[in-house]
Chain A
Amino acid sequence: MTSVKVTDLVKDYTLRSGLKHTRLRAVDHVSLELAPGRTVALVGESGSGKSTIAKILTRMERPTSGTVDVRLDDGTPVAGAHYRREVQMVFQDPFASLNPFHSIEHHIARPLKIHGRTRTRDETHARVLDMLERVNLGPAEHIASRRPHELSGGQRQRVAIARALAPGAQVLIADEPVSMLDVSIRLGVLNLLGRLQREDRLAVLYITHDLATARHFSDEIVVLYRGRVVERGPSDAVILDPHHAYTKLLALAAPDPERPGRVTSEAPVDREPIDNGTCYDHFAGEWREAGVPAAEAEAAVPAD
């Protein structure tokens, strides 16, 4: 069991054009917490900074300021090489995240070996087959010897999930894990993630632009707009009772067959919602300044 506490995260990028330097703030004082067995959805459009947060959490980028604190159940901080064992990521594009040159076995065997989960060749192979079966890929022996381009998108994403879990990760960052997949297999992959999460009590950060799956798949939703958190709360509350103008706009824009004919009837909404630097916190039931840490989310954890 591992939990993550992100406090006051800021990431600036410097853009150079000629002699001019401009600073772009991709992530602006974001705080969030990931607890074992809970899914937090990070919702926003492209450019909202959600992928930057994923990169910082997986240590592909350094934050400009702010801290990422990962602790085991007994309170030991996770640092150094252990960090990569605890925090893993599932990438968006299953067609790009597997090396076309290597077999499926290679992709899952490497993390096993790097983190010393297996010692001998036979043990590694057996564990690889185990992992493939856990993500419902079978016959495992057959799949293991394939190369990525011989598998379908859904199968590849299952391989990517197996790879992420191979080191024994307890924290999973899923960056738009189904947006590149065919619609009829999306729910299958999401449900797979859900099952693995229940089995291993994983802490999951589900990054998406799709409000509908965010609502059904997560316990808590954090809405990002231009790098800032504009609304957070239990998923049903955020979607069914949005407070911030931007969340309302997003909810309105998502197609919903329950409300047909909206496209023609509704008036065009203001596309630039006023960003007054505030964030509605459903846990506290009040507006706060963006950047102030959320109320203790643990209160909402279902007891089990």
Chain B
Amino acid sequence: MTNLKPSSEPSVADSAELLAETSAEAGRKPRAGWRMLLPTMTPWLAVGLGLIAAITLFGLIGPLFVGDPRTIRDMGLTPPSADFWLGTTQTGQDVLAQLAYATRGSLQIGVIVGLLATALSAFFGIYGAYRGRVVDEAFSLFTNVFLVIPGLPLVIVISGFVPAESRGLWTIAIVLAVTSWAGSARVLRAQTLSVRNRDYVAASQVSGERPWRVIVVEILPNLLPVIASQFVFAVIAAILGEAGLSFIGLGASNSSTLGTMLFYAQNGFALSLGAWWWFVPPGLIIALFGMGLSLVNFSIDEIINPKLKNLRLHRKRARRAARLERELAQAAPQVPSQQTKETAR
């Protein structure tokens, strides 16, 4: 009982976009929707993932292999050597050991803030937009209020109020998360409003799907790339924000992060003493980690906006078509025809 009439199916696509889609699909047949959400492997994505993996690995297992970062030795400010690969600080502490622990601390903060901020923005952005009317208005207002609160000054004020001894990792994480979710929530709200109006959402409502299931099963998967991109961005922002706070001495008191390292390097006059091995490594790790996350984010952008991906495929094909056209022109230089009449005049 088949009714697959090949003749009536569109066999030749009119637009190049459609072609890009179909031919990309022809090779491999993705069965699950999840596959569609994975970015295509490009050199940039590989570099980004490599950087993130290397730094994360260093933060995770580095501390197991280095000594106690707090051990004070009688050999301040020695340049890198065989014993101390990254030299020592003013008080003779091992910079490599400090770096390993600080990377772990910064990653911790980054991931915690990333998760908290994403959860907050997802709740206020998606739920509000889905419910609409009063809930949406209220959530929107709330989001806008948080959006216009100047982030860094508030963070400084809050951190300043909390006494240093109770200013733990979680306090800083929550402060950073609360001040950074609003922008993402607005983006998610806009995206949800557009997805919510698609027919397939209406269709699932008509078929009797419960609201939470419509959100989680029908809407959320289509927002995942956006959420992933926002998570990545939130992690970068949190690591930088925490480094900034620690640098001005308002960071978490019970943990060491890349920011606290820079704070002590600054206080120890590392810059004026030319002790580059003290401040360059933490700075470099922050920069490279941020770069890695950004590169991943570019690839996620291609999933959010498939036009970007088509653009890339398109350029490749356009080059080939142009080359073939040139070759064709060379093979048959000039077709003699009567159209030269016009040019002759």
Contacts and interface: CB of A to CB of B under 8 A. Distances in A.
Direct contact, A vs B (beta carbon within 8 Å): yes
B199 A102 contact: no
B207 A167 contact: yes
Nearest to B200: A99
Which one of B3, B36, B205 has the greatest number of beta carbons of chain A within 10 Å? B3
20 contacts: A60-B205, A91-B199, A91-B202, A93-B199, A97-B199, A97-B203, A102-B33, A102-B218, A102-B221, A103-B32, A111-B207, A111-B208, A136-B2, A137-B3, A138-B4, A149-B25, A150-B29, A163-B207, A182-B10, A184-B8
Interface string B185-207: 00000000000001110111111
A101 B222 contact: yes
A211 interface: no
B203 A163 contact: yes
A291 to B, nearest CB: 27
Interface stretch (A39-47, A80-88, A196-204, A263-271): A80-88
Nearest to A55: B202
A110 B203 CA distance: 11
Interface residues of B, number: 31
Interface of B: 1-5, 8-10, 21, 25, 29-33, 36, 198-200, 202-209, 217-218, 221-222
B33 A88 contact: no
Given A60-B202, A138-B1, A145-B31, A88 B218 contact: no
Contacts of A182: 8, 10
Interface string A152-191: 1011001010011011000000000000001011001000
Contacts of A167: 207-208
A100 B29 CA distance: 14
Given A133-B1, A145-B31, A147-B33, A110 B204 contact: yes
A105 to B, nearest CB: 11
A149 B205 CA distance: 21
A97 B33 contact: no
A128 interface: no
Interface string A46-86: 00000000000011100000000000000000000100110
B33 A101 contact: yes
B1 A185 contact: no
A115 B36 CA distance: 30
B241 to A, nearest CB: 34
A99 B218 contact: yes
A210 to B, nearest CB: 19
A96 B208 contact: no
Given A96-B198, A110-B204, 11 more contacts: A60-B202, A97-B202, A98-B203, A99-B218, A99-B221, A99-B222, A100-B222, A103-B32, A136-B1, A184-B8, A185-B5
Contacts of A163: 203, 207
A254 interface: no
Given A96-B199, A96-B200, A133-B1, A114 B209 contact: yes
Interface in A185-224: 185, 188
Nearest to B34: A101
B207 A154 contact: no
A139 interface: yes
A81 B208 contact: yes
A30 interface: no
A103 B33 contact: yes
A149 B21 contact: yes
Contacts of A138: 1-4
Given A89-B203, A96-B199, A114-B208, A150 B3 contact: no
Given A97-B200, A97-B203, A160-B203, A188 B3 contact: yes
Contacts of B206: 58-60, 84, 88-89
A272 B199 CA distance: 32
A145 B35 CA distance: 14
Contacts of B33: 100-103, 147
B40 to A, nearest CB: 17
A91 B36 CA distance: 25
Contacts of B202: 60, 91, 97
A137 B204 CA distance: 21
A147 B207 contact: no
B25 A150 contact: yes
